[in-house]
Structure 1
């Protein structure tokens, strides 16, 4: 299948393109920055470019992974987010429908699920348990607002055209440090987040492959490493997460101590990817148990950490 992959020079794109090629797909990458798998340098906000690309290259399916992300808020005005994340998505959807495509993949984000009250902490019932039914959705920044608007465009176009659309709400997988938390350190924080809100970029890429093969109708999916907890532990997680972690992983505290790491005192939200496993047959290969296994054996950590990573920008060769 000839696939148009937007964001092909970005962190997800550079991992997803080789997997698509290995499965026999012909990948046409489109990005604002040059890259190994980017054939076309340009913006999805350029409607003529989008339509010409899909027609000229005989594209059969679109994977729309390109976007401005949360760290880009400090570098771009709100209008740029609307142009790229909303108008760009509409351009791709309408071009795909015009070309008669049967399927469309949209990379969204769990960030749009984080309302102000979620950001402030746990509810009275304990950790927020966040699956595809979680709501109401009230994004707290321009990134989340534009991704939610793009999701709704996906739903409208899918309903009106019959084109199958998978909306993949990915948890955290980027390699840079968190832009709001200085402690714990980057690798420590990433390990902690695999308990409840993170996945590796490799697993994110594999989820896109699964959706491309099995997409039906219009469905949203939360993508994260499978949490080791149950909903019955939500209240305890919000009060004393270390006791809950010790129940599931008795040696976690000792392994962490050897690294000079700390376990989270509280876990106030948990992303639940069960629907993706049920409907797409996808389950993240790397989880918190994988981290502990690496620490026990002295192996490299099973996720990337690069504090210097910055999303590619126009004119930047990578």
Structure 2
């Protein structure tokens, strides 16, 4: 297939693109480039790129593609809470416009990166895709709204699929440090302490970035009638754990000390997830990575590539990176590229082209 991957220079996209290419697909990326140079270790190979803000995509940009894999988003709760209006503009409104434009352009399949955080405060019972959705943050609310609006577009010629990913973990050359396993492992490697600022009791479902990529590949290649309009939880029940259990696993792998400060109190986001529907609908997909394996991979990668505390806090933390791009004049208050930044990037591209 000829596939457009939005957010291809993000944490998940950097892992997903090579897998799709390996499976024989032709891939083009679409990205603003906010995190293009936020690399730990060797820089990944790049596919052809549409350098576009998601809010500026038109039907003409999408003609000729068989599928869109939509990963691009403002992708964490602190950023969404800081700028809820912009979060909804990008994550909800622009995503729905993208899906409509894709359908109008003749794109047949639209894979959407949703999240298990749509379940919110679901408690200790493992929830299925039919469970009530209780999103607690602007980020999670935006995901629910996209699912509702894009599901209405499904027909014989347009197949949207909603992959509700568990919380991601694992190494990617474009690292994210602001997700729980990656963060706790970095703390262990850099300080010898695994610091948990909640009380450690909330449940979290976890899934490795490579397993997410494999699930998207399976959904891309599955018969359309099998997946059309489906929401699927992506992960494995073996990785339904509490934050305290994650900390203990990281400590065992790294030899670090667990410190639960509890300064943030009890996190209301607590949920366990049932992943049996994905096993039935996507039998080609199997989640292979456990939390211990991921912590080992992360610790080895952090040490091998020389992760520093400064890079962890700034280059690999979403909120800090975007705030810095605003401070230096790359992004305006609405998170659009400034005119000066656009002119500079155009000049640099011409110089190196």
What's the counterpart of residue 210 of structure 1? 218
What's the TM-score, normalizing by structure 2? 0.65
Q: How far is 1:183 from its partner?
A: 8.0
Does structure 1 residue 219 correspond to structure 2 residue 215? no
Q: Distance in 1 between matches of 2:27 and 2:207?
A: 24
1:111–1:254 Cα change, 3 Å: closer
What's the counterpart of residue 50 of structure 1? 58
**Is the contact made by 2:112 and 2:162 (CA closer than 8 Å) also made in structure 1?**
yes
Q: How far is 1:20 from its partner?
A: 1.2
Q: Distance in 2 between matches of 1:207 and 1:253?
A: 25
* Aligned mate of 1:166, from 142, 148, 161: 161
What's the counterpart of residue 113 of structure 1? 119
Deviations 1:169-208 (A, max 9, x none): 11111541458xx989856689x99x95111111111111
- Give structure 1 regions of 4+ aligned residues with deviation exceeding 6 angstroms: 182-185
Say how many residue pairs are matched: 276
2:145 counterpart SS class: helix
What's the TM-score, normalizing by structure 1? 0.71
Q: Distance in 2 between matches of 1:208 and 1:183?
A: 27
Which deviates further from its counterpart, 140-149 or 304-313? 304-313
1:226–1:287 Cα change, 3 Å: farther
1:173–1:78 Cα change, 3 Å: same
1:307–1:206 Cα change, 3 Å: farther
Does structure 1 residue 16 correspond to structure 2 residue 39? no
1:282 counterpart SS class: coil
Q: Distance in 2 between matches of 1:4 and 1:109?
A: 20
What's the counterpart of residue 263 of structure 2? none
What's the counterpart of residue 94 of structure 2? 88
**Is the contact made by 1:224 and 1:273 (CA closer than 8 Å) also made in structure 2?**
yes
* Aligned mate of 2:151, from 151, 155, 158: 155
1:228–1:88 Cα change, 3 Å: closer
1:51–1:203 Cα change, 3 Å: same
* Aligned mate of 2:103, from 97, 101, 124: 97
More strand by share: 2
Q: Distance in 2 between matches of 1:79 and 1:253?
A: 36
1:153–1:286 Cα change, 3 Å: same
**Is the contact made by 1:177 and 1:186 (CA closer than 8 Å) also made in structure 2?**
no
Unpaired runs of 5+ in structure 1?
A: 230-236, 246-251
Unpaired runs of 5+ in structure 2?
A: 37-45, 170-175, 189-193, 261-265, 323-330, 332-336, 346-353
